[in-house]
Amino acid sequence: MTQFGRLLTAMVTPFDPSTESLDIDQAKCLAAALFDSGTEGLVVSGTTGESPTLSNREKLALLEATVEVAHARGAPVIAGTTTYNTAESVELSREAARLGVDGILGTVPYYNNPPQEGLFQHFRAIASAVDLPVILYNIPSRSPRNMEASTTLRLAREVPNIIGVKEASANFKQIGEIIRDAPDGFRVWSGNDADILTIMALGGYGVVSVAAHLVGRQIEALIRAFGAGDNARAAQIHHRLMPLVDALFVTSSPIPLKYALNRVGMRVGNPRLPLVPIDPKSQAVMDAALGSVTVDLKVPVPA
C-alpha cells in the first residue's frame, strides 16, 4: 500500500485569469514547485482546490495532470472525489482510481447533515468501491456535522483500506482518543496548520497543509525538529509561521492563498464564484504576513 508522507499539501486549483477555465499547464507547474519546496504528496480537488465549483470532468483532468507530475517524482496524489452524494462519490472515486491516483480523501458530507450511522455507511460504501487507501476528512467548520471519534474508530477497525484521518475539528480530546484507540498503522494528519505541534504531541503523524504552498520547507523543518525531539526548535518555527497561518484564513480560504500565490509570481487566477477576489482589508493582512516570512516556493522563470 502507498505510504503517504508527513507533509501533504492541499493544492489550489489554478484558473486562467481571463476565462476562469481550468489551467492545466499551471497546475502542473504548481505541483512541481510544491514538490521542490518540501511537499511529499498532494491532495488535489479538495476544499482548498475549490472542489465544489469544479465539474467532474475538470476534477478528472486536474487529477490526471497532477498524477503525471507526482508519479515522475515517485510521489502520491490523493484525490478529493467525495461530496454529499454517496453514489456520485463512488463513481468519481472509481474514475480517479482508473487515472492512477494513489488514495482518496473522504470528506464529511456537507449540507444534508447525515447522522453518525450515515457517515459510517457513506464512507464504507466509497472505500469498498475502490482498491485504494482512503483518508477520512473531518472538518466541522465546512459541514454541519462533526464525525465523532467513535465513528472514525469504527471505520478504522471495520474497513481495511481506511488508513487515516485528516482532523480539522481542533477538538483535541476527540483527536487524542482517535490516536490512542485506533488500530496500528492508522494515521492522523492535522487539517489545520496551527495544530501541527499539538496533534503530533498527541501522537499524530503529520499535516495536510495550506501554508505549505508558501513555506513548505519551514513546515518540513518543524515536523523534522519535533520528530528529533528538538521541541524548542519546532516551537520556534511554529511561532514564526503563525502570522502567515492566521492570515491565510482572514477571509474564506483559499481567497487569501490565491492572492498570495499570485503576488509571489505563481499565477493561479482568482477564485471562482461564489468566492471572490480578496478585499482590501484582508489584502493588507496578507501583505503584512508575507512580509514576516521567507517564501520557500520557487516560481519558474518563463523560458
Domains of the chain: 7-230 (3.20.20.70)
The angle at the Cα of 147, spanning 143 to 153, to the nearest 5 degrees, equals 155
Residue 242: exposed, middle, or buried by beta-carbon count in 10 A (0-12, 13-18, 19+)? middle
Is 173 among the catalytic positions?
no
Q: Which of 166, 205, 258, 259 is catalytic?
A: 166
**Over its length of 303 residues, how does the chain's per-residue pLDDT go in tens digits?**
568 999 999 999 999 998 899 999 999 999 999 999 999 999 999 999 999 999 999 999 999 999 999 999 999 999 999 999 999 999 999 999 999 999 999 999 999 999 999 999 999 999 999 999 999 999 999 888 999 999 999 999 999 999 999 999 999 999 999 999 999 999 999 999 999 999 999 999 999 999 999 999 999 999 999 999 999 999 999 999 999 999 999 999 999 999 999 999 999 999 999 999 999 999 999 999 999 999 999 988 665
Q: Which of 59, 137, 205, 259 is catalytic?
A: 137
Q: Which residue do the cell numbers 492563498 mark?
A: 257
Peptide bond before 114: cis, by omega within 30 degrees of 0?
no
* 197, 235 Cβ separation under 8 angstroms: yes
Q: What are phi and psi of 127, to 5 degrees?
A: -65, -35
> Between 212-227 and 255-263, two packed helices, what is the crossing angle to 10 degrees?
100
Is 28 among the catalytic positions?
no
* 187, 160 Cβ separation under 8 angstroms: no
Separation of alpha carbons 180 and 178, rounded Å = 5
C-alpha cell at 95: 474514475
Radius of gyration of the chain (CA): 18
Total-model pTM: 0.96
In Å, how far are 11, 14, 46, 72 from 29, measured between CA atoms? 12, 10, 18, 13
